[in-house]
Amino acid sequence: MPTGYTDAIKNGISFQAFALNCARGFGACITLRDEAGGGESIPDEFQPSDYHFKALAHSRSLLATLESMTSLECEFKAAAEHAESERRRSERLQELGDLRQKYEEMLLCAEAWTPPTDGHSGLKEFMVKQITDSIAWDCDTQFYDTPAAQVSGSEWLETAKLKAAKDIEYHKQQWAEEQRRTAERNAWVRDLRASL
C-alpha cells in the first residue's frame, strides 16, 4: 500500500519532487509536514519568527517605563496589582468550592448506589475512588488560602525591573537562537536542492 510520500510514484513523479516531498518530514522542513501540497511548499528561504524580537522590544520599552515611574505611580500600581491578585484568588476559591460541592453530591450518589449484582461492586468502588481522587487533586485550596502580602511601591518597582531585565536577557538569547536555527534550516534546504 502506498504512503502519502510514495503514492505519486505511480504517476511518474521525478526523484527531485519525491525527495522534496519527503524532506517535509525532516528537521528543517518539519513545520511544513502537515500543510497541503508537496515539496513545492518548501520556501527558498525561511524567515525567523519575530516573536522574540517583538518581545525583546516590549521588555526594553517596559523597563524604560518602569525606570521613569514616580513613587506615587509605583504605590498605585502595587496596590492595583494586589487588588487584582486578591480578586483572582477569591474567584478561584469560589470555583474550587463549587467544584467540590458538585463532586461531593456525586459522591453521595455513588456511595448510595446499590450495585445490581456482585459483578457490579467493582464499578461502585471505581466510581467512588475516581471522585475521591478528583476531590483531592482538583479541590485543594492550600495554594489559595493565604492572601498575598501587600508590597510597597518600591518593592513592586524593584521586582518589576528585575523581571523586565530577566525577560530582556531571555528574549535576546532566544532571538539569537531563532536566527541561528533559521540560518541552519536555510542551509539544509540549499544543500538539499543543490544535491538534486
- 32 and 76 in a single domain? The answer is no
Domain assignment present for 2: no
- 19 and 101 in a single domain? The answer is no
Tell me what pLDDT residue 34 has: 84
- 97 and 156 in a single domain? The answer is yes
- 189 and 158 in a single domain? The answer is no
Domain assignment present for 135: yes
Where in the sequence is the domain holding 191, given as residue range(s)?
7-48+185-195
What total number of domains does the chain contain? 2
Tell me what pLDDT residue 89 has: 97
- 39 and 68 in a single domain? The answer is no
Tell me what pLDDT residue 100 has: 98
- 123 and 78 in a single domain? The answer is yes
- 180 and 190 in a single domain? The answer is no
Tell me what pLDDT residue 31 has: 87
- 141 and 89 in a single domain? The answer is yes
Domain assignment present for 11: yes
Tell me what pLDDT residue 3 has: 86
Domain assignment present for 189: yes
- 86 and 172 in a single domain? The answer is yes
pLDDT tens string, the chain, 196 residues long: the values are: 888 888 889 999 999 999 998 998 888 898 888 887 788 889 999 999 999 999 999 999 999 999 999 999 999 999 999 999 999 999 999 999 999 999 999 999 999 999 999 999 999 999 999 999 999 999 999 999 999 999 999 999 999 999 999 999 999 999 999 999 999 999 999 999 999 9
- 78 and 160 in a single domain? The answer is yes
- 103 and 11 in a single domain? The answer is no
Domain assignment present for 1: no
Domain assignment present for 78: yes
Domain assignment present for 22: yes
For every residue of the chain, DSSP letters joined together read ---TTTGGGGGT--HHHHHHHHHTTSGGGGGGTTSSS-GGGS-SS-----HHHHHHHHHHHHHHHHHT--HHHHHHHHHHHHHHHHHHHHHHHHHHHHHHHHHHHHHHHHHH---SSGGGHHHHHHHHHHHHHHHHHH---HHHHSPPPPPPHHHHHHHHHHHHHHHHHHHHHHHHHHHHHHHHHHHHHHHHHHH-
- 22 and 87 in a single domain? The answer is no
